[in-house]
Amino acid sequence: MTEPDRAPVGVLALQGDVPEHAAAVAALVGAKRVRSVLEPADLSGLGALLLPGGESTTLSRLLDESGLRDPLIGAGRGGLPLLGTCAGIILLARELEPSPGGKDPLPLGLLSVRVRRNDYGRQAESFEAPIPFPDLPGGPFPGAFIRAPRILSVAPPARVLAELKGHPVAVREGSVWGLTFHPELSGDLRLHRLFLASAGLLP
């Protein structure tokens, strides 16, 4: 059995910001412990899994085509630490606000939030903003919002970790974390470190 502090860290590698998340994780635990997750067998023995940003409807379809959807739901319900960023939180959400005239992805239902896709605007309206995190040492975190979703509501047992202008942008429910922004693009490893430490994968 893999010891927690030696377990590999998975990055869902179906589409999206996979190299950026893999690089952030590798900087913290070493490249040999980073595993690309492409099929159900790749979930075996993981200490944690990151769900990167990307295109949520494409990611949802690829979860079905790869056979990962049900095993991933089972792993999440079984306590596997999960971190979803941008499109990743859309996938993790319990409920999505329907998009006007659009086909929405089927969420995994692992995080007690209601989310609306692309609510901060189009690609051209992307922005960066300092995010105050009460539990994160070192001051505000540099958040990159790119076609970002908005968290409309948070239900217990999920709790808000951080807000921006009165709106939740980071939520945690047990071992499942969701962020509406892209920490992997910031050059700041503090949130990856905090997540991995909470999973017992870092001191």
86 as an active site residue: the answer is yes
Catalytic residue among 21, 86, 173, 192: 86
Q: In angstroms, rounded to a whole number, what is the distance separating the alpha carbons of residues 24 and 34?
A: 10
Among 20, 21, 182, 192, the one annotated catalytic: 182
Among the listed residues 20, 173, 184, 192, the single catalytic one is 184
Per-residue pLDDT at 102: 66
User: pLDDT value at position 123?
Assistant: 59
- What is the pLDDT, as a whole number, of residue 125? 60
* Listed residue (117, 175, 169, 177) closest to 147, CA to CA: 117
Catalogue all structural domains in the chain, each as residue range(s) with its CATH number: 4-198 (3.40.50.880)
Digit-by-digit pLDDT tens for the chain (203 residues) are: 345 568 999 999 999 999 999 999 999 999 999 999 999 999 999 999 999 999 999 999 999 999 999 999 999 999 999 999 999 999 999 999 987 766 788 999 999 999 998 766 565 567 899 999 998 999 999 999 988 999 999 999 999 999 999 999 999 999 999 999 999 999 999 999 999 999 999 98
Strands 9-12 and 48-51: parallel
Cβ atoms 179, 144 nearer than 8 A:
no
Model-level pTM greater than 0.85?
yes
Using CB atoms within 10 Å of the CB of residue 33, give its burial: 0 to 12 exposed, 13 to 18 middle, 19+ buried.
middle
The secondary element (H helix, E strand) that includes residue 164 is strand 159-164
